[in-house]
A and B are shown apart, each in its own frame.
Chain A
Amino acid sequence: MNGNEKVLDVRNLKTHFFTNLGVVKAVDGVSFYLRKGQALGIVGESGSGKSVTSLSILQLVPKPAGRIVEGEIWYGEEDLVKKSQKEMRQYRGKKLFMISQDPMTSLNPVFKIGNQIAEAIRRRQNLTGDDLTEKIIEMLKLVHIREPETRINSYPHQFSGGMKQRAMISMALACQPEILIADEPTTALDVTIQAQILKLMMEIRQHYNTSIILITHDLGVIAKFCDYVLVMYAGKIVERADVKTLFKGNRHPYTRGLINSLPHLGKKQQRLASIKGQPPDLLNLPKGCPFEPRCDYSVERCSCDYPPIEPVDKEHFISCWRWREI
C-alpha cells in the first residue's frame, strides 16, 4: 500500500429504499475507508448492496425511492452526505469518476466520442482548437483505440462494448480523478476484452496513484486487481481483509463458501462445493444474521442477534458469532 492517507472514509452508511412493498435496506450500516492509491474491491452477489454503496458515495441513489438515511462519507475534510446535488457536481467527474457496467448510461448517444472526451479534458485543462484535438487523440491512443484520428468523429453506437468502456477510461484519464469507482466494468465484456480493460485500469493506478473502488461479483477479478476487499451480504459487510488474507485466511462462512464454490481452472473436481439455499429476500430479512439460513455453522444465537463487526487482525474485520472456531 502506498502511504496511509485515507482519501475516503465511509462511516455507518445506511441507504434505504422506500417502496410500496416495504423498506429495502439496500445498504445497512457499512463502514470502510479507502487509502491513497489503494485498489479496494467490493464483492457480493446481486442484491448485496455493493452497487448502492458506490451510488451513495456519488449521491446518485435513485430518487425518490432511495435515500441515505444515516452515516457519513468523509472525503478529506468534507462530508459528502451533507452536500447538495449542485455541490456534488464539483466532485463528480472531477475528483470522483465513475465507470459503470453499461457505458451507454454515461455516454451521450447524440454526441461524438471526441466531443465527450473533450469535455472531460476541459474540466482540467483550458485547451482549444488543434491542441484540444491532439490531446483527445493522445487520450484515445493511451487506451489503445485504433485509428484515433477517425474514431474521434464516431458516435457511441459505432463503438463495440469494449471500445465504449475504453472511451470511458480515456475520459477518466483526462479527468485524473482522485478516486475511480468502477461498478462491474467488465461484466458485460468478453474475457479477452476484460483482460484489456483491467490492464488499462492497473496502468492508470500505477501512473497517477489513483485510488480505485472496484465493484464486482467475480472473485477472479478481485484476486487479480485489488489489494483490500470488502465482502457484502444483504446490505452489510460480513468480512473485510487484505486480498491474501481473504483468500487464504478467511474466517466468515459466506466468504469461504463463495470461494469454494468456484470451479478452478486446471483442477477438475467431481462436484463443486455449493452454498445451500437461496439468496436473501431483502424485504423479509431474518432478525439475526441474514446468512444464518444458509450457513453450515449456525447456532441458535445466529438467528436472534446480528453479530457485531470484530477485528481479527489489524486490517481484518469480521461479522460472525463463531469466527474464532472457523
Chain B
Amino acid sequence: MNGEAILEIKDLKKYFTIGKQGILSRKPRIVKALDGITFSLNKGKTFGLVGESGCGKSTAGRSILRLHKITDGEIIFQGQNIDAFTGMEKMQYCRDVQAVFQDPYASLNPRMRVGEIIEEPMLVHGISRSRGRRERVAELLEVVGLSADHISRFPHEFSGGQRQRIGIARALSLNPKLVILDEPVSALDVSIRAQILNLLMDLQQEFGLTYLFISHDLSVVEHISDVVSVMYLGKILEMATCEMIFNHPLHPYTQALLSAIPVPDPEFSRQAIILEGDVADLLGLEKGCLFRNRCFNATDACSEREPELVEVEPNHQVACLKIT
C-alpha cells in the first residue's frame, strides 16, 4: 500500500504466561495474544484493526503504546525501533503517539479537574508556562466541541460522549502524529457515537493525524478506515483497502463476520453465514489454520499446513489455503 509509512510492525509476537508455576498452582499456560503480525500505517490515514474479543487487536495497540514488553518482532516508528529507545527518545515517542480508550468513565481520573486532565501531558513534558498551558487547554476544549468554561469541572459532571471529547483533547495536547483509538465509540450511545466519529474525522483532516482504529464493530470501521485488517486469534487473516474488504471479502471468516452484522433495514434480507462454535474452542489446533474448526470451507489440507498472508491482488492480502 503506497504512501509514507509512519509506523511499521514486523512479525510482532506477544505471549502471555497464565498461572505461575508454584507448589499449588497448575502448570503455566502460554497464550499467544499476538502470533506474528505485520502491517504498516501510512501517514495521515486510518488503519482499521477489526476482530472479535480475544483476537489480540487491543494487545497490538498496547504493544505499540509500550504498555507491555513484546515477546518478539519489531515496532518501527519513523524508521527507529522503539525497543532501542533511550530515555529522551522515549519521552519524544510519548509526545508523538497518544491514545484514546474505550471506557469514558475509567479513562479520566475522577479526582482531577478537566483542566488538570488535559494539561497533565504538557506539564509532564515541560511545555510552556502555566498561563500558556491554560490557554492551550481552553483552545483544545473548543477544538473538541466543549466550552472553555468546563475547565474547572470534574469528569463526573459530564456525559459519556463529553468525557470521550475530554479524552480526545488530552490526547491532542502534545500534538501527536499517531493516535491509537482503542474502541473509542463502543461504550457510547448510538446518537453520540456519530458525533464522536465525525469529530475524529474532522480532527484528522485538520491536524493531519494518523489513526490506528481498533474496534469490533465493522460498520464503524468501514466508516472511518482507509485500510482494514481482520484479526483472528492473534493473526491477521485478511488485509486490504476498506472498499475491497467490505465489497469483495475473500477470507471465509471476513465473509461470515460481514454477513453476521444485523442491517438496520427490515426489508434487507440476506442469509447470514452462521459460524459454528466459539473462538474459545481451541482444542487440537496446534497445527494448520486456526479458523478451520469454524470454517464452512475447510478441507483436510487446512489442518496440515498453516496459511500465510499472501497478496492475491494489488493491496489485498489473504491468509487462506483455498484462495491462494
Contacts and interface: CB of A to CB of B under 8 A. Distances in A.
Q: In the complex, which range does the number of interface residues on chain B fall in?
A: 35 or more
A262 B264 contact: yes
Interface string B218-231: 11101100000000
A199 B259 CA distance: 13
A45 interface: yes
Contacts of A45: 189-191
A264 B262 CA distance: 11
Contacts of A275: 191-192, 194-195
Contacts of A257: 191
A146 B277 contact: yes
A191 B52 contact: yes
Contact of B219 (A262, A273, A276): A262
A104 B258 CA distance: 29
A196 B276 CA distance: 8
Given A45-B190, A219-B190, A262-B190, A278 B223 contact: no
A272 B197 contact: yes
Interface stretch (A65-73, A168-176, A220-228): A220-228
Interface string A88-130: 0000000000000000000000000000000000000000000
Contacts of A276: 195
Contacts of B257: 191-192
Contacts of B259: 195
Contacts of B260: 191-192, 194-195
Given A45-B191, A220-B263, A274-B194, A266 B223 contact: no
A196 B190 CA distance: 23
A313 to B, nearest CB: 16
Q: In the complex, which range does the number of interface residues on chain A fall in?
A: 35 or more
A193 interface: yes
A292 B242 CA distance: 38
SS class, residues of chain B in contact with chain A: helix
A193 B189 contact: no
Interface in A226-266: 243-244, 247-248, 257-259, 261-266
Nearest to A196: B274
Given A191-B52, A223-B262, A263-B220, 18 more contacts: A45-B191, A190-B216, A191-B261, A192-B52, A192-B256, A198-B262, A220-B261, A223-B266, A223-B268, A224-B266, A247-B266, A262-B194, A265-B222, A271-B201, A274-B198, A275-B192, A276-B195, A278-B192
Interface of B: 52-53, 159-162, 189-195, 197-198, 201, 216, 218-220, 222-223, 242-243, 246-247, 256-268, 272, 274-281
19 contacts: A160-B278, A192-B256, A195-B272, A196-B274, A221-B262, A223-B263, A224-B263, A224-B266, A244-B267, A258-B191, A261-B194, A262-B190, A268-B242, A271-B201, A274-B191, A274-B195, A275-B191, A275-B194, A276-B195
